[in-house]
Structure 1
Amino acid sequence: MRLHIILFIACLCLGIKVFSQAPQLTHKSQVSLLTCSAGDELYYAFGHTAIRVQDPELGIDVVYNYGTFDFNRPNFYLNFVKGKLIYSLSRRSFDAFLFEYELEKRWVKEQIFDFTLEEKNRIHAYLENNYLPQNRDYLYDPLWYNCSSITGDILKNLYGDAIVFEGSHLEKRYTFRQLVRQHLNVNSWGAFGIDLAFGSVVDRKATVKEHMFLPYYTMYQMDNTTKNGEPLVKRERTVLDYSEHTNNDFFPLSPLFWFLLLLIFTTIITYLDYRHKTKSKWLDFSLLLLTGLVGTVLFLLWVATDHTSTPYNFNLLWAFPVNLVAGFVLIFQPKLPSWCIKYFWFLLSLFAVLMLLWILKIQIFSPVVIPIMLTLGIRYAFNIKMAHP
């Protein structure tokens, strides 16, 4: 009796082990890359990349998607702020994957790889192993390790030097910031926020492979990638044929519109202050408080998080964190302290440094900050002028 139980358990364990292994694909199988177009929302603005494995003889048609995240994961928002956002590999049927893009009318294109049967089984086994619960999570990075850039890593890990990423299709090598801006309207709140948070580290030119953090560039790259000297892509087709989404932003809702209003408002108030020999402390306090808060957040993103794209952010030269303290000093002082004059001269000198960094392309700033800097410069200069009538 015990022998039967032992044999039953052994067979059960063996069966579980066999079942957990990826099934061997047949000669009719295909492995392909799916590229999905950009959508209307900011988190869809760059498109999407996934890998499809299909085998009609085995009834397999699944999509492996490295772009899955869970809002309900513990400390999701805290990890997002800290730069420790966890993404996961998900697996679903091709029809279920496609349904979302049909609803949103976003095009989907497929590039079928020219793999041997052994190579197809190797990537299938790799993906199945990655899909195991203990392997499917990874530390996401929007520029260096995401659902799109992983494609190049997988190909290199599995096929080594046989895979060559040619770069002749690129008109030029772009910086990371330039690549991101290609998908965004620079005068949008999303683009402004991204430009504000990005440090100077993203203003270096990306390598050919690093361009693949964007799904469109991964698609272009696959057409210019070889395996053992032969084209990697055997053929390609359009799965869903929709027009590219275009965003027609309403100017009165854009950041430039509101910052220009702020500039005009500040200019008028400053002119009235000058005519009446008064000072609108509430305006100075508000400007210093807001720029100080913004600067504090940017500084913390630089030194207190694991974000790889936020260090060395020279937006701090106009959003100076110390303004947070200076604003409270000004609002409670009946007369401007002498050190404040030097402080305002110091802030104006920081603007000069910022412009020099911009001209030298050490960091490229959002053009939307220009009316902000003019607004601040007007009030700084006015306070200096009022101290020396």
Structure 2
Amino acid sequence: MKFKSFLFIVWLLFGGGVLAQTPELSGRSQISLLTCSAGDELYYSFGHSAIRVQDPELGIDVVYNYGTFDFNRPNFYLNFVKGKLIYSLSRRTFDVFLYEYELEKRWVREQILDLTLAERNRLLAFLEDNYLPQNRDYLYDPLWYNCSSITGDILKNQYGDAIVFNGSHLEKRFTFRQLVRQHLNINSWSSFGIDLAFGSKVDREATVREHMFLPYYAMEQIRNTTKNGKPLLKRERVVLDYDEHVVNGFFPLSPLFWFAMLMIFTGIVTYFDHKHKTKSKWLDFTLFFVSGLAGLILFLLWVATDHTSTPYNFNILWAFPVNMGIAFIFILQPQLPSWLTKYLWGLLALMGIMFLLWILKVQIFSPILIPVLLTLVIRYVYLIQFSKIRPRR
């Protein structure tokens, strides 16, 4: 037995390339799913999943982690923007893996899978094949292919129709947007940014298996999954027992506060503009330019990247990209052109279409947008009225 342990240590140190084949697990071996709680950073907000393989007879206790990424990888941030983010499968000892969560005081739970010895050996061989340098990298997708959703994919690929994901435990089937919102404070800049970038594709109802892109749902799904008609979960235990991290926002720093301030400021400026029969060109320039720039970014995320969650984003109906060019009219021309009134009516019509899509649930928009939309409506309506009392060319 000591010789087997020595061979495993050599195999582990040299990346599995020394031995002709992956070590055969003993009858005392176990394979389990590890679920780790959410953390304070945005990329920790949804928790984490990994697969643990242990065999006390061989001295094996390693974790296969599909959630590894490298900030130092060439063009990391550019690839992130383009939707071509590369993640990797890493392999390290259980103690090393656990240290980070102990340090950050995040809970870890383990679910041991009820697999036969042959099935455990086959799964280990699969993981080791995935860990080969030519196989370990994969194109990450936050909603459809991540460290957690891979769990369901692996089980299905390994055991086929023997695996059944029962969805009776779900109180309802959520959309992808609803699932993401469950893990974020909706009145936070991160939640607002994600909501803004998401297109209408994420407003469809996720399947039972697709709920597993979130580690907490993957953990719950394992409790409600069968293999050959029997529970897949053999037993469950708490590895690290800490309270759930709660991130408390500070309202004066939240997007709702600042957007409400913008609406109030715009309302006050518009009142004095109306009183003095003038227009504040720098306010109009800023509103048009920023809304147009936001629309241009959203349009590029739709058509010029590989992100699967950003196409068909109807936020561009209020963040209209053409506004960025129109903005310069307010500072370069002393008088408003005659066609601008029709353009402004068109913008209001587009916003009306947006609200119709919202009501029909074609796309669900962030409620934090409401003061922004009211800000634009206030200004658009005033500029239409102003154009009637001022000479135009």
Name the TM tier (shorter chain): over 0.9
Cross-structure match for 1:4:
none
5 Å-filtered alignment, 1:223-372, equals 223-372=223-372
Percentage of identical aligned residues: 75
> What is the aligned-residue RMSD (CA, Å)?
0.9
SS in 1 for 2:34: strand
Q: Following the alignment from structure 1 to structure 2, what is the Cα–Cα distance between the partners of residues 48 and 67?
A: 8
Aligned residue in 2 for 1:158: 158
What CA distance in whole angstroms lies between the structure 1 residues aligned with 2:92 and 2:182? 30
Gaps of 5+ in 2: 1-15
Alignment partners' CA distance in 1, 2:74 and 2:20:
28
Q: How many residues align?
A: 374
Match of 2:56 in 1: 56
1:179 — aligned with what? Answer: 179
Structure 1: tracts of 5 or more residues without a match: 1-15
User: What amino acid is the match of 1:380?
Assistant: Y
Q: Distance in 2 between the 1:275 and 1:129 partners?
A: 74
Matched ranges for 1:26-37 at <5 A: 26-37=26-37
CA offsets 1:28-58 (integer angstroms, 9 cap, x no match):
1000000000111111000000000000110
2:134 and 2:321 map into 1 onto residues whose CA distance is 42
The match for 1:206 is 206
| 2:110 is equivalent to residue 110 of structure 1 | yes
> Which residue does the alignment assign to 1:5?
none
4+ residue runs over 6 A deviation? none
Q: Deviations over 1:240-297 (max 9, x none)?
A: 0001111110000100000000001111111011111111000000000001111000
Deviation at 1:226, TM superposition (A): 0.3
Structure-2 change in CA distance of 1:21 and 1:170 (3 Å): same
Deviation (angstroms), 1:330: 2.4
1:67-108 deviation digits (Å, cap 9, x = unpaired): 000111111111111101000000010000001001111100
1:69 aligned partner, one-letter code? F
Deviation of 1:21 (Å) = 2.2
CA contact (8 A) 2:282 2:330 kept: no
- Who is 2:4 aligned against? none
Do the aligned partners of residues 306 and 17 (structure 1) sit closer, same or farther apart at CA in structure 2, a change above 3 Å counting?
closer
Q: Is contact 2:52-2:94 (8 Å) kept?
A: yes
Does 1:380 pair with 2:374?
no
Contact 2:175/2:205 (8 A) holds in 1: yes
CA–CA distance in structure 2, aligned partners of residues 331 and 307 of structure 1: 36
Q: CA deviation at 1:158?
A: 0.6
Distance 1:337 1:29, change over 3 A: same
1:329 deviates by 2.0
- The 2-side partners of 1:98 and 1:22 are apart by 24
AA aligned to 2:30 is Q
- TM-aligned CA deviation for residue 20 of structure 1: 4.9
- Structure-1 residue corresponding to 2:13: none
Corresponding residue SS for 1:301: helix
Amino acid at match of 1:159: Y
Q: CA deviation at 1:174?
A: 0.3
Aligned equivalents of 2:373, 2:338: Cα separation in 1: 23
The SS at the match of 2:49 is strand
Matches within 5 A, 1:45-84: 45-84=45-84
Work out whether residues 317 and 354 of structure 2, in 8 Å CA contact, stay in contact via their aligned partners in 1: yes
Provide Cα deviations, 1:289-331, integer angstroms capped at 9, x if missing partner: 0011110000000000000000000000110000011001222
Amino acid at match of 1:22: T
1:96 equivalent in structure 2: 96
User: 1:333, CA displacement in angstroms?
Assistant: 1.1
TM-score by length of 1: 0.95
Q: Aligned partners of 1:264, 1:368: CA distance in 2, in Å?
A: 15
State the AA in 2 paired with 1:165: F
Partner AA of 1:229 in structure 2: G
Q: Give the deviation of 1:388 after TM superposition.
A: 1.5
Give distance in 1, aligned partners of 2:277 and 2:62: 73
1:95-153: per-residue Cα shift (whole Å, max 9, x none)?
00001001111100000000100000010010011001000000000000000000000
1 CA distance for matches of 2:272 and 2:342?
24
Q: Secondary structure at the match of 1:88?
A: strand
Gap change, CA 1:202 and 1:240, over 3 Å in 2: same
Q: What residue identity is the alignment partner of 1:276?
A: H
Partner residue, 2:196: 196
1:352-375 deviation digits (Å, cap 9, x = unpaired): 111100011000000011000111
Q: Which amino acid aligns with 1:117?
A: L
Query: Once the two structures are superposed, what CA deviation does each residue of 1:142-194 show, in whole Å capped at 9, x if it has no partner?
Result: 00000000000000111111111011000110000000000001100010000
C-alpha distance in 2 between matches for 1:339 and 1:21: 74
Secondary structure at the aligned position of 2:327 is classed as helix
SS in 2 for 1:338: coil
Paired with 2:387 and 2:125, the residues of 1 have a C-alpha distance of: 74
How far apart are the structure 2 equivalents of 1:90 and 1:17?
A: 15
